[in-house]
Chain A
Amino acid sequence: MTDPAAPQIKTPVMIGIGEYHVGSGPMMTIGLGSCIGLTLYDRDLRIGAMVHIMLPDSSGRTDRPGKYADTAIPLLISKLVEKGSRRSSLVVKMAGGACMFEYFGNNLNIGERNAERVRAVLAEHNLRLHAEEVGGKAGRTVAFYPDEGGKVTVRSADGAAHEI
């Protein structure tokens, strides 16, 4: 039987490439390179949604909506609205979009294109981006804590972490 007084150890939900999660407990995306970790926090309901976006455009694909900026954002909004969120209550943050390799220029900085597309799709849905930490050459691990006021932390390879 579960002891109701036992302290709750909250292991973050790990969100893989193209996956998303909605809830109030901690969640994270590890080792973002050119990918984007996007978080939407509802400050009234104290819940949030996070997605690990890989590419800017779905080009009509529907099987993995979390993988693309253009399909991931409407998906997160609809999941939160289903739970009773109002758009005006949402705090939006993003991190990632780095360029890890300088040489391979054949696909023109996917990280930057991802970040640009996220900004554009948010604007189409009348959502303001409250904080972002994108670009550069380094990977990032992003953790999101809806039940701690929607805190978002970014950690680099050397272990240093900070809030955005």
Chain B
Amino acid sequence: MKLSSVQIDAMQELGNIGAAHAATTLSQMLSSTVEMSVPKIKVVDVAQLAEHIGEEPAALVVFELQGEIPHGGYIIFYISRASAVRLTNTMLGLTDPDRSLNDMDESALLEVGNIMASAFLDATAELLGLVMLPSPPSLTIDMAHAAMESLIAQMQEEIDEVMLFSTELMCAEHRIDSDIIMMPESSMLQTFVDRLENLMNPS
């Protein structure tokens, strides 16, 4: 579906509210300042996915959007492997930036993703008056493109384009750079747009 400029602004604001709540929780977990970018909306043809997300190793904590719409798409906490080590080092009180990630790191990443996705969804669901729940999380630490194409392949609606709503969250003190990405199914996107229009033009 194509969004009008008003709808894009509204979706950006929705992403902004969700990401701001996620950034607050990340800031609390790190006891440090977290900056966030302006939310970006990208429409990506699947054939060109590699131009946006390459084969760089990254950790992705993925949740399916559930609730009123049972398969609403995905919310993804995306962090490069190098940043992931610095993140778990900060949380676990470790210092070696070159170590490999183990079970304890995986638990920590799942926990961070869980808290951030819940904060993102709580804030957006409340604004929209929509019940949105995250599924249990699933984690992969591998080529980013391989993870994303696998998610796109299992979306409910067969599609040639995906819409990615992404906001960058950065912690300068610990050199951590991550993204929170929402990839809605078109039915979910339609619901977002309808609810946002109702909010702006209450009848």
Establish whether residues B138 and A103, one from each chain, have CB atoms under 8 Å apart when the complex forms: yes
Contact A35 B144 (CB under 8 A): no
Residues of A within 8 A of B142 (CB): 100, 137-139, 157
Which stretch in A40-48, A74-82, A104-112 binds the other chain? A104-112
Chain A CB count within 10 A is highest, among B48, B71, B147, for: B147
Contact with B along A54-89 (1 / 0, CB 8 A): 110001010110010000000000000000000000
| Contact (Cβ within 8 A) A16 B46 | yes
Chain B contact residues, majority secondary structure: mixed
* Docked CA distance A140–B62 (Å): 20
* Known contacts A34-B154, A103-B138; A14/B50 CB under 8 A: yes
Task: Please tell me if the beta carbons of B138 and A104 are within 8 angstroms of each other in the complex.
Answer: yes
What is the number of residues of chain B that contact chain A, defined by CB distance less than 8 Å? 33
We find that the number of chain A residues with CB closer than 8 angstroms to chain B is 37
B154/A104 in contact, CB under 8 A: yes
Q: Which of B54, B146, B152, B160 contacts A32, CB < 8 Å?
A: B146
Is the C-beta of B201 less than 8 angstroms from some C-beta in chain A?
Answer: no
Chain A interface residues toward B at CB < 8 A: 14, 16-19, 30-35, 54-55, 59, 61, 63-64, 67, 98-104, 106-107, 110-111, 137-141, 156-158
What are the 6 tightest A-B residue pairs by CB atom distance, in nearest-first order? A139-B146, A31-B145, A33-B150, A33-B146, A139-B143, A16-B47
